[in-house]
Amino acid sequence: MAHISISTSKPAGTLLFWVCLCLMVSTLQTLVPNEQKQTVRQTASTMATELQTTAYTRVDPGYGDGGTFNCGNKSICEGYCFVCENTSLKMQECYEILVDWCKYNFDIAMGSMNTTDWCTLEKVKSAYNNFTVCTETVADCLLLPWPNQFVEHEFVNIHTTYFQECPTEALRDPPPSIVLALVMTPICLIPVMVVLVVLKTKNGDRRS
């Protein structure tokens, strides 16, 4: 008896639940502040996915570190540490100068390229990868966390400077409305499926 009453009330209940969920999700979408969406869109690209998904911990970036200077243990670090060692710069300041140097190399590589190639992932990949590796290596050598706030800012700058106008899907996310549609369609199909399955099961029960 109890079994029958459950199976009759279930479809309506499930449908209601999923409709509510769909409404909730769409409401949440509209509630996300525009500024936040903008930042996400700017940094989100196939190339920066890794950066985005890596959670970084903000550690005190060497401020107040007076005389002692720590250098990474790699042979490549000698050059970088040499630059920072005997200056009065704080670790973070020296890091920013070295990242500027990475960025300078990136700008040169991009500048030597036909601007029509800026949106071609294959053409840009090497320079972009070099920039990523450069900032990471320097951070490793200066014992700073990576990715960090400064370097994320530089990535956003690069995207606004070079990839803002890219029509390619590879470098640009589809408009939010399309993303919403793509996400919502399978979610909203679930209640239909559930109802179908439940109805089918009920029919089967009745027949047997």
Q: In the complex, which residues of this chain contact ligand NAG (CB under 6 A)? A: 73, 82, 85-86, 109, 114, 116, 126-127, 130
Q: At what angle do helices 176-207 and 2-31 cross, to 10 degrees?
A: 180
Judged by beta carbon, residue 123 or residue 202, the one nearer ligand NAG is: 123
Judged by beta carbon, residue 17 or residue 104, the one nearer ligand NAG is: 104
Q: Name the DSSP class of 173.
A: P
Q: Report the nearest approach of ligand NAG to the CB of residue 87 (Å).
A: 9
Judged by beta carbon, residue 17 or residue 82, the one nearer ligand NAG is: 82
Peptide bond into 191 cis (omega under 30): no
Judged by beta carbon, residue 167 or residue 186, the one nearer ligand NAG is: 167
| Residues in Cβ contact with 199 at an 8 Å cutoff, skipping those fewer than 6 apart | 11
Q: Report the nearest approach of ligand NAG to the CB of residue 52 (Å).
A: 23
Q: Give the 3-state secondary structure of residue 174.
A: coil
Q: Report the nearest approach of ligand NAG to the CB of residue 72 (Å).
A: 9
Judged by beta carbon, residue 39 or residue 157, the one nearer ligand NAG is: 157
Q: Report the nearest approach of ligand NAG to the CB of residue 160 (Å).
A: 20
Over the range 3-12, which residues count as b (16 or more CB within 10 Å of their CB) and which as e? eeeeeeeebe
- Taking the C-alpha atoms of residue 14 and residue 198, their distance in angstroms, rounded to an integer, is 10
Q: Report the nearest approach of ligand NAG to the CB of residue 32 (Å).
A: 36
> Integer distance in angstroms from the first to the last C-alpha of the chain?
16
Q: Give the 3-state secondary structure of residue 31.
A: helix
